[in-house]
Structure 1
Amino acid sequence: MAKLDYEDKEVEVKDDEKIVEQLMEFGVPFGCQDGLCGTCRLKILEGAENCTPLTEAEKAMGDRDEHNRLGCQLKIKGGKVKITF
């Protein structure tokens, strides 16, 4: 199980699965949940290497920095990831 950390709150998430539900618990705002609107943009502070690569939807938003991600597209491969939004 991977770990997701936001403001000293930590939850376990299943490896390689979308984490929308856990992000909603942290208060991340969501719109379309398809990677089109950009409402759920977040920043990875630590553990970007533990995340899956940018999706085509994320690349289409124009920012190719692996630390700037869309919450609806993000999956954690394992380990720990710390975010802010």
Structure 2
Amino acid sequence: MAKLIISSDDETQEFELENGSSIAEPCESSGVPFACTEGVCGTCVIEVLEGEENLSDFTDEEKDFLGEPEDSNERLACQCKINGGCVKVTF
């Protein structure tokens, strides 16, 4: 099991997820805005505060929108999967 912690200005929520699960649903239920869900629009940009190594590799869609992974700690929530451990994000 993996733990996802999502922080916003007014609250923090924690989710227990199966390894390999998409983080899109818990992010959306926490208030992260979504639109296309295909990695094209960039509406669901999140900032990874801790545990980036526990997320899936950048998708081609993320690289196209955000640039190379080493340039930023931003990810597209619709494209990320959590592989284990603990990940803390904000939006």
TM-score (norm 2): 0.86
Identity among equivalent positions (%) equals 46
C-alpha deviation, 1:32, in angstroms: 0.2
Whole-Å separation in 2 of the counterparts to 1:56 and 1:32: 16
| 2:51 aligned partner, one-letter code | G
Unaligned runs of 5+ in 1: none
Aligned residue for 2:21?
17
Structure 1 segments (4+ residues) deviating >3 Å: none
RMSD (Å), alpha carbons: 1.2
Aligned residue for 1:71?
77
Aligned residue for 2:60?
56
Aligned residue for 2:38?
34
C-alpha deviation, 1:77, in angstroms: 0.5
TM-score (norm 1): 0.92
Unaligned runs of 5+ in 2: none
Whole-Å separation in 2 of the counterparts to 1:70 and 1:32: 11
- Stretch moving more, 30-39 or 7-16: 7-16
Aligned length: 85
